[in-house]
Structure 1
Amino acid sequence: MFLRALSLLLVTTLAAFTAEPVPTFHGSIEKLDPALDGLIAPDAKIEVLASGFNWSEGPVWRDGGLVFSDVPENTVFGWKEGDTAAKVVLKPSGSLSGDGQGSNGLQVDAQGNLILCQHGERRIARLEKDGTFTSLADHYEGKRFNSPNDLVIAKSGAIFFTDPPYGLKKGEAPELKQHGIYSVTPAGKVSLVISDIRFPNGIALSPDQKTLYIAVSDPKDTRVMAYDLQEDGTAKNGRVFFNAQPLKSPARKGGCDGMKVDTHGNIWTTGPGGVLIIGKDGKHLGSILTGQATANCAFGGADRSTLYITADMFLLRVKTLAKGL
């Protein structure tokens, strides 16, 4: 094992909504296996694009730029190449009354619509062209969701999403006993896919759509689970794909949260210390060490060969040799 320290490129010194200077950022890329060189070039840099966010989350590439959530600020921000700051593109994003948490995970459907996990509204919603929201899923068996957290859209158009209780208001009791993983079809049918995980968080599909990955942010057992996804949308054969708990230390903050998969089936999941790069065989190839509790990541750019990272108050990126799905 050895640590490959990389220089950092500061792209901007101010976020669009703060007059405070960007704090000093220290990061590095750790190579644990030679296979990492096929995914990240040896001279790759961690770039700071913007800072000053309360808790950045849910990045997704859309319309030639990145959009991402600031959950406590109830805001979706946008950033494009050439911008000197991130800009507000949607507010409120997840609590229409303004007294709850904003959006968390974001995705873009086949029609280019922004799909949001809305903590405050406790639902999955679609942003319409007129700026209104259409609820796609807000109840299961007559009970409201806890606070949908992250989502992935299958080729069939079905949306799979996680529902931990993180976005519930203080004193607000959950209506559902489980921290479920659900699916909703384009026709609106909601199904409970997995019911026995506490604190499910990030979610992703393998390139062949046959494996469903769940990042579990349980502070006592943070890990990535894998399930065989059946043609009828059910999941079987749950197993631990990667145990990240041993990586936790005072110097490596955070747990398994958001994740993405590249075209070769490697998993890029946030975890202790930053972003963990896990081979499709479950081997830990290396980590992008941000020094921050790191929430999520997404591939973007014209050829999807740039990894954008939301790490606490920072928006970061790393150019990659791997390409996202």
Structure 2
Amino acid sequence: MRHLSTRLLVLPFAALLAACTTPGGPIPEESGTAGLTAWDPGFHAVVAPDGRVERLAQGFAWAEGPVWLRDALLFTDVPGNRIHRWSEAEGLSVFLEPSGYTGPERDTLREPGANGLYPGPDGSVLLADSGSRMVARLDPATRHKTPLATHYDGRRFNSPNDLVRRSDGTVFFTDPPYGLKGLDASPVKELPFNGVYRLDPDGRVVLLDDGLSFPNGIALSPDERTLYVANSDPERPVWMAYTLDASGDVGDRRLFADASDLVGDGAPGLPDGMAVAADGTLFATGPGGVLVFAPDGTRLGRIETGKAVANCAFGDDGRTLYMTSDDTLARVRVRATGLGFAPAP
């Protein structure tokens, strides 16, 4: 999700249209805007030292929520209220508009579109629908959206931001106030906190944590026993780890990593979306790009696009990391294999 310190890029309509219809294939990289930083020798076992960041498409207000479906990438533009599709063969197209809120324009909404996406059952897509203030399921064939959760304790969610699905059908999601004008001070914010939740297969919503200021990105470890949550707060830019039991209840919680030393004007972005490799390596967007952590929390290195990176996801054969970075869609080949992809030969 776009942070308080991140500017909203505004382009003339003609320029926006031209940028958003870029055909397949990478855009020539601008000199000095991308790179890799290694803090630990283990970084290059995950990302090759000659790895190259490629820009694929540009012109979005704030790109987010990438998810790989079969042979293409879907991702959101939250202020633009669109879901885009990108593939190597067909390039960029608008997949769904509006992606979130569908009613008349409301001056209470800061970001009306859907945000985080995640693969659902039977080829569906799960949406953290920021603008409609709900968690929903989308049928990609019909574009029909089914609400799954809209309230907690009789009160509307703030603006669901990101979500992840466990193999038993349990969904975990975050609910900061980023979709509302005024954020925590919004007059339409009904909950007094910003929560981390569990949505059970039977529809029951359970609050797991109400103590984070801006819970944002969320991910599961390969064994599904650890839930990672990013806190997008410049005063506390951390990732928390929650131990889960079989029912999805939290046994304990701990600080997984802290990026306080990286926050600054030269490192755009804050803890946000995440992707997990099959070996447990965590690719976590944060100050300066995508931070790469070993499963024990050791900070290995950083993938840099030159802009704030909101989210990331594995695609292709599982060894391409796609990154939604401010107004840009980018990618980099890595040595790790994404969770859920067949191991590389």
Superposition TM-score, scaled by structure 2 size: 0.86
TM-aligned CA deviation for residue 291 of structure 1: 1.7
Offset at residue 309 of structure 1 (A) = 0.3
Q: Could you tell me how far 1:23 is from its partner in structure 2?
A: 9.0
**1:146 maps onto 2:158 in alignment:** yes
SS at match of 2:261: helix
Amino acid corresponding to residue 87 of structure 1 in structure 2: S
Instruction: Give the direction of change, closer, same or farther, for the CA distance of 1:239–1:78 in structure 2 (3 Å limit).
Output: same
Q: Tell me the CA shift for residue 98 of structure 1.
A: 5.6
- Post-superposition shift, 1:17? 4.8
Q: Which residue of 2 aligns with 1:113?
A: 124
1:221 is displaced (CA, Å) by 0.7
Which of 292, 305, 308 is the matching residue for 2:322? 308
Corresponding position of 1:134: 146
What does residue 34 of structure 2 align with? 27
Q: Deviations over 1:42-64 (max 9, x none)?
A: 22110110011110000000131
- Report matched runs for 1:242-253 at 5 Å: 242-253=257-268
- Write the distance in 1 (CA, Å) between the matches of 2:71 and 2:207: 34
Q: What percentage of aligned pairs have identical amino acids? A: 46
Is residue 55–residue 313 contact of structure 1 (8 Å, CA) maintained in 2?
Answer: yes
Map Cα deviations across residues 104-130 of structure 1 (whole Å, 9 max, x no partner). Answer: 000111311011111111001111343
Aligned residues: 309
How far apart are residue 173 of structure 1 and its match?
2.5
Deviation at 1:31, TM superposition (A): 1.2
- What is the CA-CA distance between 1:36 and the residue it aligns to? 1.3
Identify unmatched segments of 5+ residues in structure 1. 1-13
For residues 144-180 of structure 1, the C-alpha deviation after alignment (integer angstroms, 9 at most, x for no partner) is: 0000000000011111000000002454431111211
- 5 Å-filtered alignment, 1:1-325, equals 15-17=19-21, 24=30, 26-83=33-90, 85-97=91-103, 99=105, 100=109, 101-128=112-139, 129-169=141-181, 171-301=186-316, 303-325=317-339
SS for the counterpart of 2:42 is: helix
* RMSD (Å), alpha carbons: 1.8
State the one-letter code of the partner of 1:79: W
SS at match of 1:35: helix
4+ runs deviating over 3 angstroms: 21-25, 169-172
Q: Which residue identity does 1:75 align to in structure 2? A: R
Secondary structure in structure 2 of the residue aligned to 1:104? coil
Report the equivalent of 2:6: none
Deviations 1:248-292 (A, max 9, x none): 121101100001111111111000000000111111100001221
Q: CA deviation at 1:133?
A: 1.1
Contact 1:15–1:86 (Cα < 8 Å) also in 2: no
Tell me if structure 1 keeps the 8 A contact 2:36–2:49: no
Contact 1:257 1:296 in 2 (8 A): yes
* Conserved? CA contact 1:74–1:98, under 8 Å: no
| 3-state secondary structure, aligned to 2:203 | coil
The amino acid across from 2:103 in the alignment is S
What is the TM-score when the length of structure 1 is the normalising length? 0.91
Contact 1:22–1:52 (Cα < 8 Å) also in 2: no
For structure 2, the 5+ residue unaligned runs are: 1-17, 340-345
